[in-house]
Amino acid sequence: MGTHPEPPPLPARLSDPRPVIAVGTLGWTVATIIVLASGERYADYLWICVAGLGVAAFGGLIFLLQRHAMRRGDRSAQRGL
C-alpha cells in the first residue's frame, strides 16, 4: 500500500474570507433598506435584519482582530487569515 500524495493547497482567492464577509454584510444592509422602505407591513422583520447586521459586524470585527494578532505575531492567533 503506497502513500497518497498531498493535495495541492487551495488558491488564495478561495481561502480568503473577506469577500464572504463583504457580501454577507451587503446582503443584510440591502435587506434592512428593503424592510425600511416597505413600511409598516414588514416591520416585524426589521429586528431580524438588525440582528443580521450585528452578527456581520461582529464577525468582521473578529476577523480583523485575528488578522491583526497574526501580523503582530501572537502565538494564540489563527494562521492563514
Residues 6 or more apart whose CB falls under 8 angstroms from that of 24 comprise 56, 59
65-80 pLDDT tens trace: 888 888 888 777 766 6
Residue 2 confidence class, pLDDT cut points 50, 70, 90: low
Average confidence (pLDDT) over 30-52: 91
- d(C-alpha 68, C-alpha 8), whole Å: 27
**What grid cell was written down for 49?**
435584519
**What grid cell was written down for 22?**
463583504
Question: Where exactly are the structural domains of the chain?
Answer: 18-71
Asked if residues 35 and 63 have their Cβ atoms less than 8 Å apart, the reply is no
Q: What per-residue confidence (pLDDT) applies to 81? A: 55
Is residue 57 over pLDDT 70? yes
Q: What per-residue confidence (pLDDT) applies to 54? A: 96
6 versus 79: the higher-pLDDT residue is 6
pTM summary value: 0.73
* CA nearest to 34, candidates 22, 48, 14, 19: 48
Largest CA distance in the chain: 67
